[in-house]
Structure 1
Amino acid sequence: MHTLLTWLGNRDLENMQQDKIAAITAIALKAQPHFDKIVILSNDKEETWSRFEAFLKKSMAVNGRPYNDIKIVKAHIESPIDYHTIAKETEKWITKLSEEADTLSINLTSGTPAMTALSVLIGKGKANTKFLQATPTNELLHVEIPIDFGSEYLRSASKNIAYLATSHPKLESAFSVITAKSLVMQDTVSKAKRVAASEVPVLILGETGTGKEVMAQAIHRASLRAGQPLKIVNCGALAPNLVDSTLFGHKKGAFTGADKDYPGLFEQANNGTLFLDEVGELPLDVQVKLLRALQQGEVTRLGDTKTINVDVRVIAATHQDLNKLVANGKFREDLFYRLAVGVIRIPSLRERQEDIPLIVGQLVDQINHSASKHPQYISKKISEKGIKFLSSQYWPGNIRDLWSTLNRAFLWSDTSIMDEYELSQAMLTRSQVVEDVPISLTFNDKVDIVQLTDNLQKNYVVAALKASGNVKKHATQMLGLKDHQTLTNWMKRLGIATEK
């Protein structure tokens, strides 16, 4: 998505009165690629806003450019030259829009010098931000800004690095570049391509952090609906009292605070795709309405009796066992079978170890790129021993877990080559708790309890040796044993060969 952020200038309003264009309209009409969204900030002359919005939308429509997402919003500033409040408002909008968009362009022509200066200072801290200007004759200029901006720039760049480190890793989403060296991932991508070419609902299964949203985006972009909207919602993050309204919309007055009609995500995704992440979290009453939307292609807004026809392809995802939820009465069986037509299971990272070196390379490039705006940052690489160490780990949080670990390692170390030592220091400490599961036996049952306990011990010893790179001292600590001689004795007793 390409977004334009601009302040509303006096010249823009004056020219509008004469049905002439100025900076904002000129940039919106001439920028390549076109803008999918335009946000205009203003704190003055509110009575002219609706007219300017209409003027800009008409200009865009006449020239065949998108015009549905254009809005003037109120900027809470003390005055057009108050740096403190302008900085606060500018940072809020640049941060929000740069996180949402692939590219954020900022107009430096409209607005006061204070607005322009702070847009540059704060905008340069974002990796995906560009700057545009318009000449007096309404020619479009792409502006290259020097790097040295002092403390305000450093603060913004540092905040951007922190955001990227805690967000989801942005692996490429097209099928052609999804990391799939391992056979199991090649098979997964092959099935996803077949599903993408159809119109059936899709259910993506996989542990937390395996990249279910990335797969959903790839399926949408490879489908016949690629040019239509893709709406994404995490069902587990919705407040219970807002789930219905968010998905299906509401009428004005349907509840306290509903001051206008609201089209839900199904309407917003009409002719496109709706991705329901963590679909297992949906309440049962909402599941009924979801089933109707899938079966009849109809939704009803909260507080309304009128049905609205929608054409939406649903892609759902969950890390939960839906069969178990169905058995426990927490997920409707008819909805499960309606969703589980094109089922795609994304393997965990430990099931696709061949892919780990390639994924690490992608993530390292992302971290280095996002952090490169900080002038004191040292670009880093992972050594071969480091790659081997990362490939030997269990990664319970999968790609997201790997992403966070790399960010911690890069943060703590000043060396340009990251080895297994630096990476091991960044690993989280997790306590493994064996569940106390009730055991039931009947009168004539027979159990080899020695064999059972030996197998359990052997599995944990092998796992500890693998995770530690066969370093007995560290494996001993992981297992809580007295000393490494005790571990050696256990290995002999359990028949575990020592890797030489």
Structure 2
Amino acid sequence: MKNILVCWIGFTDLRAVTESETIGLGPIAQAAKSKHFDEIVLISDRPKDEMDSYVCWLQGFTQSEIFLKTEPLSGPTRFGEIYEAAVRVVTDTLQRHPEKVALTFHLSPGTPAMAAVWIILSKTRFPAELIESSKEFGVQIASVPFDISAEFIPDLLRRPDERLEKLTAGLPPEAPEFDSIVHRGHIMKRVIAKARHVAPRSVPVLIEGESGTGKELLARAIHKASPRRDNPFVAVNCGAIPSELVESELFGHEKGAFTGADKQKIGYFESADKGTLFLDEIGELPMPSQVKLLRALQEKEVVRIGATAPVKFDVRVIAATNKNLIDEVTAGCFRKDLFYRIAVAVLKLPPLRERSGDFSLLIDKLLDQINIECVDEPGYKNKNISASAKNFMMKQIWPGNIRELQNTLLQAAIWSTDTTIDIEDIRESMLPMANPNEDRLLDRPMKDGINLPELMEKLAQHYLKRALDEANGNKTRATELVGLPSYQTFSNWLKKYHIE
């Protein structure tokens, strides 16, 4: 296994070239003399020709192969830039060595911000030994007695021009209505940006997403950000209404209209007048009900069962589904004209497995909610969660999405006897769930044949989206994550697989 030292070139190292008798060899040369490294990878934000003399001087103290990487920075304390530069260099180094290597990061050269980034990377993305050195004590292994959640990293990547980007996109600089929705990752930022853009308008919205992804939460935020915010928000689970009662529930009925109708009932459309009607799981509506719903949306009026006079309404409809309605239309299970009526603004909520950039904040927020809800329970102590437990949770699939994540945290909080939830608490609280058939790409039955291009498209879309989210929208970094040869190839794949 090859040993590789990676570090920034610090000011003390440069001074050592001419002042070694008074200040010593400097941190890098000290490390190079004290331990054998197969490679030493140096990073500098200065022009290469200014560093060549230092590299030549350092080569006199070691037999290691030395690589110099130039990474311009706008400032030596810019965490985001330092992080991205370090990741690029380490990734490039690992790509040159397909075999396993032992990394060492040197904390002493460079600024405190550079040292902080090495600590973060060593505890999350690139496990490595940390060393520090000084003239007085020589080279020592740096002990960092804590774990760090990998999801701390995206905080370092926020661009200083983020606010300018929002303003130029025509979006309001603040949108407190969406604060309840965690959207730090690239994918969710785009979803929320679109939702904020469409919220002030009265056009119908269709929210697509798997069960448990937070479709109703997004619908409520859109309502609160709209001019209808002071009027009713009425949520209806279409899949929970018996088919024979759909018309009565949506449009209402008069007294005596049918057996059991002992009084007049106002339907959901009238209840939501001047406000928003949220039709959850609209794909579950039977075809006869879809016809009547379409007419109501077109005419903007309903006729209660047993009545003759129509009732006008002013309602903004937000629909949601966990199905692919286009497929349902093709299969003849959903009306095409109704689809085009409700799918004016379409928002696609990603599953939890594609939201790595949001995961840590989601866990913190859900745990805060659990602590608030359980505060009056006898013997309950407020819980926090260890970083190692968070990292463990990030590696799971979570087919039930946020709902499953919340259930697991709630169980862990209830059963944990300590104030800190650890990995074992999470393991014991996770419910065994079979992977959905659609995610089992490698063991499809071949008896009736498979659609290989479709499977390849699903796989490519899944990992391209994850790479973009993991890289916080940085396409150069995302290109590296998925192993494509160039930025242009990555961009071509995004177009090929219809990813914005």
Q: TM-score range by the shorter chain?
A: 0.5 to 0.7
1:310 aligns to what?
313
Deviations 1:219-259 (A, max 9, x none): 00101111111111100011122111000001111111101
Deviations 1:326-373 (A, max 9, x none): 112111100001111010111111111111111111111111111111
Pairing 1:252-331 to 2, within 5 Å after superposition = 252-331=255-334
Measured in 2, the distance between the counterparts of 1:392 and 1:256 equals 55
Secondary structure (helix, strand or coil) at the match of 2:236 reads strand
Measured in 1, the distance between the counterparts of 2:328 and 2:444 equals 20
User: Could you tell me the TM-score, scaled by structure 1's length?
Assistant: 0.53
Pairing 1:326-475 to 2, within 5 Å after superposition = 326-432=329-435, 436=445, 438-440=447-449
Secondary structure (helix, strand or coil) at the match of 2:265 reads coil
Q: What amino acid does structure 2 have at the position aligned with 1:389?
A: F
Secondary structure (helix, strand or coil) at the match of 1:252 reads coil
Is the CA contact 1:201–1:315 (under 8 Å) kept in the aligned structure 2? yes
Measured in 2, the distance between the counterparts of 1:299 and 1:360 equals 43
Is the CA contact 1:196–1:220 (under 8 Å) kept in the aligned structure 2? yes
Q: What amino acid does structure 2 have at the position aligned with 1:300?
A: V
Structure 2 gaps of 5+ residues are: 1-174, 438-442, 464-500
Residue 173 of structure 1, CA deviation: 8.7
For the structure 1 residues 292 and 173, does the alpha-carbon distance in structure 2 shift closer, same or farther, using more than 3 Å as the test?
Answer: farther
Secondary structure (helix, strand or coil) at the match of 2:189 reads helix
Measured in 1, the distance between the counterparts of 2:220 and 2:388 equals 34
More moved, 191-200 vs 303-312: 303-312
Secondary structure (helix, strand or coil) at the match of 2:278 reads strand
Measured in 2, the distance between the counterparts of 1:428 and 1:377 equals 22
Measured in 1, the distance between the counterparts of 2:386 and 2:308 equals 63
Residue 379 of structure 1, CA deviation: 1.8
Is the CA contact 1:249–1:301 (under 8 Å) kept in the aligned structure 2? yes
Measured in 2, the distance between the counterparts of 1:405 and 1:251 equals 45
Secondary structure (helix, strand or coil) at the match of 1:316 reads strand
Measured in 2, the distance between the counterparts of 1:190 and 1:334 equals 28
Measured in 2, the distance between the counterparts of 1:264 and 1:374 equals 38
For the structure 1 residues 412 and 177, does the alpha-carbon distance in structure 2 shift closer, same or farther, using more than 3 Å as the test?
Answer: closer
2:247 aligns to what?
244
For the structure 1 residues 235 and 183, does the alpha-carbon distance in structure 2 shift closer, same or farther, using more than 3 Å as the test?
Answer: same
Measured in 2, the distance between the counterparts of 1:337 and 1:327 equals 13
For the structure 1 residues 303 and 372, does the alpha-carbon distance in structure 2 shift closer, same or farther, using more than 3 Å as the test?
Answer: same
Q: What amino acid does structure 2 have at the position aligned with 1:176?
A: D
Is the CA contact 1:173–1:218 (under 8 Å) kept in the aligned structure 2? no
Deviations 1:365-414 (A, max 9, x none): 11111111123112211001011111111111110010001111122221
Is the CA contact 1:229–1:273 (under 8 Å) kept in the aligned structure 2? yes
For the structure 1 residues 437 and 195, does the alpha-carbon distance in structure 2 shift closer, same or farther, using more than 3 Å as the test?
Answer: farther
Pairing 1:76-155 to 2, within 5 Å after superposition = none
Residue 311 of structure 1, CA deviation: 0.8
For the structure 1 residues 251 and 173, does the alpha-carbon distance in structure 2 shift closer, same or farther, using more than 3 Å as the test?
Answer: farther
Matched residue count: 274
Deviations 1:105-144 (A, max 9, x none): xxxxxxxxxxxxxxxxxxxxxxxxxxxxxxxxxxxxxxxx
Deviations 1:140-172 (A, max 9, x none): xxxxxxxxxxxxxxxxxxxxxxxxxxxxxxxx9
Is the CA contact 2:183–2:189 (under 8 Å) kept in the aligned structure 1? yes
More moved, 431-440 vs 242-251: 431-440
Pairing 1:23-62 to 2, within 5 Å after superposition = none
Match of 1:228 among 195, 214, 231: 231
Residue 187 of structure 1, CA deviation: 0.4
Pairing 1:55-74 to 2, within 5 Å after superposition = none
Moved over 4 A (4+): 432-435
Measured in 2, the distance between the counterparts of 1:391 and 1:331 equals 36
1:179 aligns to what?
182
Measured in 2, the distance between the counterparts of 1:286 and 1:304 equals 18
Measured in 2, the distance between the counterparts of 1:222 and 1:209 equals 22
Q: What amino acid does structure 1 have at the position aligned with 2:236?
A: V
Structure 1 gaps of 5+ residues are: 1-171, 442-446, 460-500
Match of 2:200 among 197, 200, 203: 197
Q: What amino acid does structure 1 have at the position aligned with 2:407?
A: S
Q: In percent, how many aligned pairs have the same letter?
A: 48
Is the CA contact 2:209–2:349 (under 8 Å) kept in the aligned structure 1? yes
Q: What amino acid does structure 2 have at the position aligned with 1:439?
A: D
More moved, 362-371 vs 430-439: 430-439
More moved, 203-212 vs 237-246: 237-246
For the structure 1 residues 440 and 424, does the alpha-carbon distance in structure 2 shift closer, same or farther, using more than 3 Å as the test?
Answer: closer
Aligned residues: CA RMSD: 2.2
For the structure 1 residues 201 and 431, does the alpha-carbon distance in structure 2 shift closer, same or farther, using more than 3 Å as the test?
Answer: closer
